[in-house]
Structure 1
Amino acid sequence: MSASEVRRRVAAGVPSGWGHEVHPVLQAIYAARGVLTPAQADHRLACLLTPTMLGGMERAVELLMKAVAEDWSILVAGDYDCDGATGTAVAVRGLRLLGARHVNYAVPNRFLHGYGLSPALVESLEPKPRLIITVDNGVASIAGVACAQALGIKVIVTDHHLPGEQLPAADAMVNPNLTDDTFPSKALAGVGVVFYLLLSLRAALRERQAYADGPEPDLSSLLDLVALGTVADLVPLDYNNRVLVEGGLKRIRSGRACAGIRALIETGKRSVSTLCASDMAFSVGPRLNAAGRLEDMRLGVECLLTDEPAMARRYAEQLSAINQERRDLQASMVAEAEVMVGVATSSDAVGVALYEPTWHAGVVGLVASKLKERLHRPIFAFAPASEDNVDELRGSGRSIAGFHIRDALAAIDAREPGLIERFGGHAMAAGLSLKAVDFPRFAAAFDAIARQWLSEEQLQAALYTDGELPMGSATLDLARQIRFGGPWGQAFPEPLFDNEFECVSWRVMGETHLRFDLRDPRDGSRLEAVMFNAYKGTPPPARMRAVFELGINDWQGRESVRLLLRQIEAV
């Protein structure tokens, strides 16, 4: 049954298999996202894809079994973003739960070691471990894996990034995006891949009756970390990822999150009991990411590993302070970038590349993201690799629907060998390194391939909604069902509606936010609404069409419906 047919049946009151407890509007929202039956909205952990379906698992588990049995020293080599930090914490906690006694971790400093398992990171390890497990990196670490193996270190790569033409000669590799892997969900984040490895290891230990004398370790205790990393990395929330995220959210809401996540939620002034995926994306995740962008992600990992609430709170407060510094720096860089695209020829480019010598390499990805939203163009932003290395640039890119930005880099690399020194990423985000003198060549090549691959229609920004919210449907019951009806996120978007309203009154909150008293002209009902960063010095229209989320205002323990406006236009 098509989504439009489900919408028609819902509107007509024809049963569609959902119980009466599921609001008809939510049924239509689900249908528009391909969820046509209650079973497709069942996010029980029993519905997860089987770990043994993931390629490379048998060899990786065999090596881990040997490492645990022989008491090897194991080092988890993570990444300096939220996915990498949560994945590192999952690996360390999980391996210890499963019997490994000598587990440590290392996270590269982006300014000292570069990305991933680099030779510089391997050579810095003291003492040298017997086994390295990469998390959220490694598929491109050809030199780093070779360096480790030359030192007698075994390497298991767990990653989710797209592979290049050559793979590292690791002792085992688990990655759903390898070309010969048949795992049904290609959308696992790095933290999801290593969680699956732990599930497989536990199953193998169970077969060998490792838990005959007692209960087996509860790996669901790691789901809060899995959920955070999955949401923060902006991977598509396909069914399997929604099961993982929902499992983590339920754990958090029930008060069973690890001390670090609880502290990050509280410092972000979010509610543990009502936390949703958007809170992770816009409050918790950025605080953790800030450490890797400006300083050392070890601070973030330590926050996730400590079981002491007071210590976790101190770490979280430090991360919040770094995040505020990141926000200030980002605002300055975005303002400079907006001037650049407003006055330079790059404003006419289809694929836009920007470079400023004073920019910070840890924040260029956020600049690219903001400019992508404004211009609706694929964007790369560049900065010097470090203060001591201004001859090399680090670039971070963000893309739009229909333009696979990592594949674009691969095409440029094939057309102009040697231009790009290193690259990697996904469909919507990618990174690369190149020489500063080669930036003009890259900018021209990126624009050329964007012009070739993108049509005029794809360059027109479109905001998709779930249509008009039916009259009388702006209720707390529906708002609650939507809040907990997800998890919403990448490729499973938060519901948006568009309706016409009369503006009864409005006022400015702070300096840039707006609060509205709106009237629905269909029945005269009144609704409270807010719109953030919307005031530009002119009053809003008296009658408007607004795109909005149906939200909840929780003030002093009392809940009320509040619309969160995303876009308005006069009618």
Structure 2
Amino acid sequence: MQKIGIVVSEHRLTDQVHQTPVTPIQIRRIPNHADIAVARNPVELLAALYANRGLTDAGEAAPGLGALESMGALHGLDRAVALLADQLRAGGHLLIVGDYDADGATGSALAVRGLRALGAARVSYLVPSRFAFGYGLSPAVVEAALTQRPDLIVTVDNGIASIAGVTRARELGIPVLVTDHHLPGDQLPDAAAIVNPNQPDCAFPSKHLAGVGVVFYLLAALRAHLRETGWFEAGRVAPNLAELLDLVALGTVADVVILDRNNRILVEQGLRRIRAGRCCPGILALLQVAGRDPSRATTTDLGFFAAPRLNAAGRLEEMSLGVECLLTDDTARAVAMAQELDGLNRRRREIEGEMKDQAELLLDALCLDGETLPLALCLFGEDWHQGVSGIVAARIRERYHRPVIAFAEAGDGLLRGSARSIDGLHIRDAIDRVDRHHPGLIERFGGHAMAAGLTLRAEGLEDFRDAFIEAVRAQLGDLPRQPEIRSDGPLPGGLMTLDTAEALRLGGPWGKGFPEPCFDGGFEVLQARIVGERHLKLRVAMPDGEPIDAIGFNLGEKLPEARGRVRLAYRLDVNDYRGVRSPQLILEDLQADL
């Protein structure tokens, strides 16, 4: 068995290293692609695309708020509402303890804004640093919270695995309300109430709510209870919680949860408010510093431009700056904080690039090919930044199509790993299998099917690596499935227009589980060059169409193949350059047209 255990600082690498082959990608058309080929206009095209995603009624792509799943099915919601209502009436201090990613930040801001709007006398928040406290409501976080003398701790996007932390809070006489969406372990925390669609006995049908979505449902239920019990009869105004859906949209997209019908409603309603300028100044500022037009905002703008800047605070420093950016109603202050977050994001990209280059050079130096590449990769760098390790794991996974865990030192002899999975592998379950078969090897862990985090002792890395590969083999067999791009089929040349591109941008919301339309077909390469060091810029033409520009982000290594006739997998998008809007192709892959 090939072992990959890499300590970056111990390797001396020359500049002359070969490029490890990327696992070939297969472009596979979904069965109904013929409907796309006969579409005569953008309306017919969208109808066919929706049908390919299981929707026969175009109106179901993003129905209104009235079509949201009923909050009554959320297990534990009544008890949670009662706790909050009692604190509102008593004037108690509510302390929000969030996570340090974009879902946690938006969820924390939503909880603070929503509870204040509902009449809470005192609401504050605490976002633990990933470097000082790690993830979740740990006993150390509870001790830090104690200095603020809260009457109730409300977790956001964490807490379902915080057994020891909740126990410590109870010992100190502080009740805890857990709101979370992560998968629970065998034991639930002894909290005063738990709201989590994935906890046992919860019949709520939308299991893919992000943490911020859970908070939105809790606030809606609390408002309904307060209205029924006369809270708003004493001169108080019942807030329109829908005005906070910009936060829900950003957090939901940023957490890359599946956009089922319920999440599409939440995201689309939030996007409409952003486009109309009816959102918090912080989100407007995040989009503007990223060079995006809020009036045309899409899930791409939220997921690839606003969210990384928000996440940068939690990755490099601590998330309070991000939460404050989302809480302020002062436009100038929001812009100043967004600019600071933008600077952090630039630094994050530099660190990420260095770590990724180190990891790829090390893999190249081992001369691995498709046959010797291990079933799973565990990478460790002595000087790696733990706040960026998850992004590096994702980049390496994309290149080699293997589940990847990137480890960084966390102090006190501990390593903290960020895991990213591939289709077909539930990575949290794989880590759980290691924990069950090798008790004591892992200090703690948690996560989802596609992403997870864990902590272990440094001396246990070798044993963990071997056990993890075996756990992956138990799910995948000896080889992972070949990576593939799912295409809607060939887009007729007559529809490769700005009108079609605009219709596709606004036809979503697109995301995981409801993917943005992807097309494929043969093109003639007219021009090819590298821009921005690693991006592939093309001018191409279909046999029956006009020339069109194409950009392949991080596809610079495909330049030697970009000649003559090629097969492209692509998305049709809008290029807005100095106010001039034109259609362009966003490349997913380029292959020689055999």
Q: Return the match for 1:64 from 47, 66, 84.
A: 84
Task: Tell me: CA distance 1:326–1:12, structure 2 relative to 1, closer, same or farther (3 Å).
Answer: closer
Q: CA deviation at 1:21?
A: 8.3
More displaced 10-residue stretch of structure 1: 335-344 or 304-313 = 335-344
- CA distance in 2 between counterparts of 1:277 and 1:9 reads 25
More displaced 10-residue stretch of structure 1: 146-155 or 170-179 = 146-155
Matched, 1:545 2:567: yes
Which residue does 1:33 correspond to in 2? 53
**SS in structure 2 of the partner of residue 74 of structure 1:** strand
Which residue does 1:200 correspond to in 2? 221
Give the gaps of 5 or more residues in structure 1: 14-19
Structure 1 residues 216-227: aligned runs within 5 Å: 216-227=238-249
> Are the counterparts in 2 of residues 57 and 197 from structure 1 also a CA contact under 8 Å?
yes
**SS in structure 2 of the partner of residue 348 of structure 1:** coil
Q: CA deviation at 1:507?
A: 4.1
Which residue does 1:526 correspond to in 2? 547
More displaced 10-residue stretch of structure 1: 47-56 or 500-509 = 500-509
**SS in structure 1 of the partner of residue 231 of structure 2:** coil
- CA distance in 2 between counterparts of 1:10 and 1:369 reads 32
> Are the counterparts in 2 of residues 10 and 27 from structure 1 also a CA contact under 8 Å?
no
- CA distance in 2 between counterparts of 1:303 and 1:459 reads 42
Which residue does 1:176 correspond to in 2? 197
Which residue does 1:261 correspond to in 2? 283
- CA distance in 1 between counterparts of 2:398 and 2:468 reads 18
Which residue does 1:460 correspond to in 2? 482
Which residue does 1:284 correspond to in 2? 306
Which residue does 1:128 correspond to in 2? 149
Which residue does 1:366 correspond to in 2? 391
More displaced 10-residue stretch of structure 1: 284-293 or 468-477 = 468-477
Which residue does 1:439 correspond to in 2? 461
Task: Tell me: CA distance 1:6–1:520, structure 2 relative to 1, closer, same or farther (3 Å).
Answer: closer
**SS in structure 2 of the partner of residue 533 of structure 1:** coil
Which residue does 1:80 correspond to in 2? 100
Q: CA deviation at 1:37?
A: 1.7
CA RMSD of aligned residues (A): 2.0
Matched, 1:272 2:294: yes
Q: Return the match for 2:375 from 320, 342, 350.
A: 350
- CA distance in 2 between counterparts of 1:317 and 1:434 reads 36
> Are the counterparts in 1 of residues 49 and 517 from structure 2 also a CA contact under 8 Å?
yes
Which residue does 1:566 correspond to in 2? 588
> Are the counterparts in 1 of residues 156 and 178 from structure 2 also a CA contact under 8 Å?
yes
TM-score by length of 2: 0.91
Which residue does 2:207 correspond to in 1? 186
Which residue does 1:515 correspond to in 2? 537
More displaced 10-residue stretch of structure 1: 35-44 or 25-34 = 35-44
> Are the counterparts in 1 of residues 548 and 585 from structure 2 also a CA contact under 8 Å?
yes
Q: CA deviation at 1:459?
A: 2.9
Matched, 1:243 2:246: no
> Are the counterparts in 2 of residues 351 and 448 from structure 1 also a CA contact under 8 Å?
no
* Structure 1 residues 9-35: Cα deviation after superposition (integer angstroms, max 9, x where no partner): 67678xxxxxx9862222221112111
Task: Tell me: CA distance 1:142–1:477, structure 2 relative to 1, closer, same or farther (3 Å).
Answer: same
Which residue does 2:415 correspond to in 1? 393
Which residue does 1:380 correspond to in 2? 405
* Structure 1 residues 293-344: Cα deviation after superposition (integer angstroms, max 9, x where no partner): 1101111111111110111111111111111111100011111111232334
Which residue does 2:520 correspond to in 1? 498
Task: Tell me: CA distance 1:9–1:110, structure 2 relative to 1, closer, same or farther (3 Å).
Answer: closer
Matched, 1:327 2:349: yes
Q: Sequence identity, in percent? A: 50
Which residue does 1:16 correspond to in 2? none
Amino acid at match of 2:68: L
- CA distance in 1 between counterparts of 2:588 and 2:30 reads 25
Count the aligned residue pairs: 559
Q: CA deviation at 1:257?
A: 1.3
> Are the counterparts in 1 of residues 375 and 479 from structure 2 also a CA contact under 8 Å?
no
Which residue does 1:100 correspond to in 2? 120
> Are the counterparts in 2 of residues 541 and 569 from structure 1 also a CA contact under 8 Å?
no
Task: Tell me: CA distance 1:21–1:473, structure 2 relative to 1, closer, same or farther (3 Å).
Answer: closer
Amino acid at match of 2:48: A
- CA distance in 1 between counterparts of 2:313 and 2:231 reads 38
Q: CA deviation at 1:112?
A: 1.2
- CA distance in 2 between counterparts of 1:267 and 1:524 reads 36
Higher relative contact order (CA 8 A, sep 6+): 2
**SS in structure 1 of the partner of residue 160 of structure 2:** coil
- CA distance in 2 between counterparts of 1:207 and 1:38 reads 36
